[in-house]
Structure 1
Amino acid sequence: MSHAELHRITAFLSAFARRQAARGVGLPGGFAVYDDAFAHSRGNNQVVIDTVVDAAALPGLADEALGHLPHRLISVLDDEAGAACVEPLARAGYTHSVCLVMLHTGPVPPGGAAEVVDLDAIRAPLTRRWQGFLPDVGDEVVRHLVDRREARHRGADLVHFVGARTHEGEVASWADLYVDRATGTAQIEDLVTSEAHLGRGYGDAVLTTALRLAADLGCGTRFLTADATDWPRHWYERRGFSVIGRFHCFERG
């Protein structure tokens, strides 16, 4: 892994956030993105820091940029800059998490038993999964978290939803695939399996298919992000992914 490859991935993440947004505004060290259609989605309404930032000033910048919202989300894409933000943001009431950047370094699998699907095909199982993840939120919040996936088509040159179906035709597992053919970069994002179908290989089918699609589109850089403290990172490692970097997320409200 080269420093240039991690830089390419960070640039991809930054560009995706900008392109997906309904509107945005520049800030010292980065930018804020907004989408009023999905006001309950933190990922669509957040501050992204992608260069050097004054860590002490960041809480105030976020309050100014996101003051009309009940939540705060700040993503700091540079590891060193993010580590410097931990203490000042903790004092301002933020919780901190670390996301790993994981590069696919194993062989590309020969194929997969999943397929490209549209949002309608995953809408019902995705809604049930969000209701399980967030049982105490209202229907509008869940609807925003489901429907925001349509906005992701703006984020990259090519966006696919990849799904693995049961014998009855229901989509049991799904993920997003974002592709920038100009740089040969592909991200696999939000791999989820319906609770009723866990442990039956559907997630493997989705991941395998997404990797093959990315490779067939000429993407030599295939990556995903994973919570540093959660079990999926180890699942991905067993499937040919290696940690090459990390970034930081801060949330409040």
Structure 2
Amino acid sequence: MPSSDLHRATAFRLAFARRQAAEVREVPGGFLVLDERYARSYEHNQLHLDGPVSPAEVSGLAEAAMADLPHRLITVHDDALGTACAAHLTRAGYEHATELVMTHTGPTPPPAPARAESLDLPALAPALARQQRLWMPDADDETIRQLVERRAARLRGAERVEFLGVYATGGDLASWADLYLAPTDGVAQVEDLVTAAPHARRGHADTLLADALHRSAAAGCTLRFLIADADDWPRHWYARRGFTVVGRAHVFTRHRAATP
């Protein structure tokens, strides 16, 4: 049932956030994760809510919980709560984005002629740094460093965490993604699938996704999911590859002044 799949995927996401955090603080309706080593990573310093909490109180709750942080990031994992929070938080200066929880409901694709490789962080880091600079051209070196090195914290997030990559013919890392596996619960998540611009539209992402799905199936993970931006084109790319929307989460962001 889709509702059961959504519940399992959400439970996995919440557990992952707790496990990778350096510090967890309980708050009404959820918890705050913190990691001073990656102070500029919103992912590692944010508020996770799944209720119950009054939507009108969420802004004040965030101000109290995140008083020592220069930014505000709130992920609301319950769709109804997130929808109810939207008006209150946008009035308080937050940007609102909707995430789609998509589960793989199609057949596992046949093995691709090429296979993804398991990477360690040193092998992945140069590609991550180049991509972050394209996304954040005004960011300073320390911000880029933290956003690259924060991958190390993700290694604590699940029973098995794999960094996968596909190399182009010339030797460049063309496409990469995280794969989080929880064989005990039968759940797997594909996260941060990226193809470097010079290597786009050459099938590298298809190879990577197919390999991630095969690894998930081999680990006994019958629920395989990912998160997609509701307003961006990859959601349609994933849909053509057998992923179906089973639910929504809401992300509210308020940036510090003059910082990307």
TM-score range, shorter-chain basis?
Answer: over 0.9
1:123 is matched by which residue type in structure 2?
Answer: A
Question: For residues 167-225 of structure 1, what are the alpha-carbon distances to aligned partners after superposition, in whole Å with 9 as ceiling and x for unaligned?
Answer: 23332110000011111000000001112111111111111111110011000000000
Give the equivalent residue in structure 1 for 2:172: 170
Residue identity (%): 52
Post-superposition Cα deviations, 1:65-105, rounded to whole Å, max 9, x if no partner, equal 11111110000000001001001111111010000000001
Query: Of the candidates 149, 153, 156, which is equivalent to residue 155 of structure 2?
Result: 153
Q: Contact (CA 8 Å) 2:3, 2:246: kept in 1 or not?
A: no
Instruction: State the distance in 2 between where 1:152 and 1:239 align.
Output: 26
Give yes or no for contact 1:14–1:50 (8 Å, CA) kept in 2.
no
Could you tell me which residue of structure 2 aligns to residue 77 of structure 1?
Answer: 77
Aligned partner of 1:243 among 242, 245, 248: 245
- The unaligned stretches of length 5 or more in structure 2 are 256-260
Shift, 1:22, TM fit: 0.4
Is residue 115–residue 209 contact of structure 1 (8 Å, CA) maintained in 2? Answer: no
**What's the Cα RMSD here?**
1.0
In the alignment, what sits opposite 1:208?
A: 210
Check the 8 A contact 1:95/1:250 in 2, yes or no.
yes
Give the counterpart of 1:122 among 121, 124, 137. Answer: 124
Q: How far apart, CA to CA, are the structure 2 residues paired with 1:84 and 1:213?
A: 38
Question: How far apart are residue 64 of structure 1 and its match?
Answer: 1.3
Give the whole-Å Cα distance in 2 for the aligned partners of 1:7 and 1:66.
27
**Are 2:92 and 1:92 equivalent residues in the alignment?**
yes
Q: Is the 8 A contact 2:20 2:156 kept in 1?
A: yes
**1 CA distance for matches of 2:235 and 2:148?**
24
SS in 1 for 2:150: helix
Partner of 1:32 in structure 2? Answer: 32
TM score, norm. by length of structure 2:
0.95
Q: Deviations over 1:215-248 (max 9, x none)?
A: 1100000000000000000000011101110100
**Which structure 1 residue ranges, 4+ long, deviate > 6 Å from structure 2?**
none
Q: Is the aligned partner of 1:111 residue 2:73? A: no
